[in-house]
Amino acid sequence: MGNSMKFSMKVGKPETVAADCIVALVHSGGVLGATAQALDAATGGLVGHAVQSGDISGKPGSTLLLRGLPGIEAHRVLLVGAGEAGKLDGKTFIKSVTPGVKALLATGATSAAFGPAEALSDRDAGWAVQQIVVALREATYRFDQFKREKADAPKLLSVTFVAAGDDEKPVKAAIAAGVALANGIELTKTLGNLPPNVCTPSYLAETAEGLAKEFGGKGGKLKVDVLERKQLEALKMGSFLSVTHGTVEPPKFIVLKYDGGAKKAAPVVLVGKGITFDSGGISLKPGEGMDEMKYDMCGAGTVLGVFRTLVEQGLKLNVVGLIPTCENMPSGTATRPGDIVTSMSGLTIEVLNTDAEGRLILCDALTYAERFKPAAVIDIATLTGACIIALGSVNSGLFSKNDALADELLAAGKQALDPAWRMPLDDEYQEQLKSNFADLANIGGRPAGSVTAACFLSRFTKTYDWAHLDIAGTAWKSGAAKGGSGRPVPLLVEFLRQRAAA
């Protein structure tokens, strides 16, 4: 799982660090970055000579491996292109780091070092360290527990960040933040990748309880409660329960409470959609690609990944996680198109399409969220195919009536390079949800499908500040690289870090 890799910090000069490979940036036009300059001086100009001879272009992601240079402790030097000098921003840095990490892992080095982080035009040095940690963990992530032949374990076991004397504390903090974030992303990816016969609602509940057991000891800050069907019936969660009528898998409502902030401080509530398999129910989906509906619990997986990170980081904030989780299956007892169900809020819903089930489980969770008198509520859901049509796999869809909350989330996404795009939520779209027979219908037709889904949820969020992230296009990748992406864990962790620092 990549967890065997150890990260550490050392104060000193790049040329004095003993490692199988040291990584240094070079810029276009043969300009050496700070670490490359130090290595060039120590080797009597050999690094500069290799760059001047044109063996590396300096374009982001170009690489050149040098071996056995005299005057330095490292056995190899990996030069990585980083574009124009003085113009290195976060995006270009990631474009450089990803291929750089790939080249580093291909060397067979068991230990590596990175020199002091280059100055970025729009980020601090700690951010760069954190991204290297996450990129290394990303590149060494394996999901092969169901394969007889396992992938070769990564050879790289230890990574050292070289820091100047006064950078010791921030570099250490950045390494810890990077490891915590990588752990959260990895948990989210793995939960998504697990097959639906393994990752059931009960499995998600056990995962949450496992986190509480593992981290509850840290001052008992994380507590988990799992509500069963009887309790959901007592709470009158008729909308959520209607989705479970066609399956034998018992539903679960997982409540995570992290008390990292002041006792009386209002919590941020994260609500994650946990449909562990979505057949569409009676409104059955087409068979092609239906296997990917195991990813319909990626909102739930995101909440668990975020909690994994924030507990490890010990963020000074109160956060509640709510995960309604069940399967959506067709059977003789399944909810039918045309059925009317009563939500926990008392609003009645005409179910015109049983495949619009995510909103039916989320609306009751959003009503339940009121009891926490939240500072803000954010729900995360692989909610609509329409969002994939609108935004593809680049941006998550962000919906909110609250400009301040929306701006906070957009800024966090930009900072974490896990972007979201704000979509409309005008009242006029609510017209599409009118029902002749109930308070509202669960679908609003094909036009603006992701917007009407958000409009549906907004009916249940009147008492607090709320935002909705539609991650249908960003939570997993299809095709040859099929697998969970771990998004939007980086966005939400950054959002919570900013809140904790405020």
Q: What is the pLDDT of residues 88-117, one digit of tens each?
A: 999 999 999 999 999 999 999 999 999 988
Answer positive or negative: Cα dihedral of 402, 404, 409, 413.
Answer: positive
| pLDDT bracket for residue 1 (50, 70, 90) | very low
Q: Output the pLDDT for position 217.
A: 56
Residue of 118, 112, 101 lying closest to 17 (CA atoms): 112
Band of the pLDDT at 153, cuts 50, 70, 90? confident
What b/e sequence results for 383-414 when a residue is b if at least 16 CB atoms lie within 10 Å of its CB, and e otherwise? bbebbbebbeeebbbbbbbbeebbebbbebbb
For position 433, what pLDDT does the model report? 98
Share of the chain above pLDDT 70, in %: 99
Q: What is the mean pLDDT of residues 156-181?
A: 93
- The answer to whether 268 and 374 are in contact (CB under 8 A) is yes
pTM, to two decimals: 0.97
Q: Flag whether pLDDT at 435 surpasses 50.
A: yes
pLDDT band at 380 (very low <50, low <70, confident <90, very high): very high
Predicted confidence at residue 4, as pLDDT, reads 84
Rounded to the nearest angstrom, the gap between the alpha carbon of residue 17 and the centroid of all alpha carbons in its chain is 34
What pLDDT does 219 receive?
58
- Could you tell me the domains of the chain? 6-164 (3.40.220.10), 184-501 (3.40.630.10)
* Whether the predicted pLDDT of 419 surpasses 90: yes
| C-beta separation of 12 from 162 below 8 A | yes
* pLDDT value at residue 152: 86
State mean pLDDT over 373-383.
98
Whether cis (ω within 30° of 0) applies to the bond prior to 286 is: no
What residues contact residue 306 under an 8 Å CB cut-off, 6+ apart?
Answer: 184, 270, 319, 321, 489, 492, 493, 496
- Residue 3: per-residue pLDDT: 63
- Please give the pLDDT value at position 44: 97
167 pLDDT band, cuts 50/70/90, is confident
The answer to whether residue 414 is catalytic is no
Q: Find all residues with CB under 8 Å of 164, minimum gap 6, and list them.
A: 11, 116
- Say which of 359, 459, 487, 497 is annotated catalytic: 359
- What mean pLDDT is predicted for residues 231-248? 98
Return mean pLDDT, the chain: 96
Q: Is 285 part of the annotated catalytic residue set?
A: yes
**pLDDT tier at 498, thresholds 50, 70, 90:** very high
Strands (E), 12-134: 21-27, 31-32, 63-67, 76-81, 111-114
Please state, in angstroms and rounded to a whole number, the distance separating the CA atoms of residues 92 and 142. Answer: 26
Name the residue among 145, 175, 144 with its Cα closest to residue 161: 175
Proportion of the chain above pLDDT 90, given as a percent: 94
pLDDT of residue 290: 97
Question: Does 392 have pLDDT greater than 80?
Answer: yes
Task: Pick the catalytic residue from 91, 236, 285, 422.
Answer: 285
Q: Phi/psi zone of residue 236: left (φ > 0), alpha (ψ -120 to 50 degrees), beta? A: left
Per-residue model confidence (pLDDT) at position 2: 43
pLDDT band at residue 118 using 50, 70 and 90 as cut-offs: confident
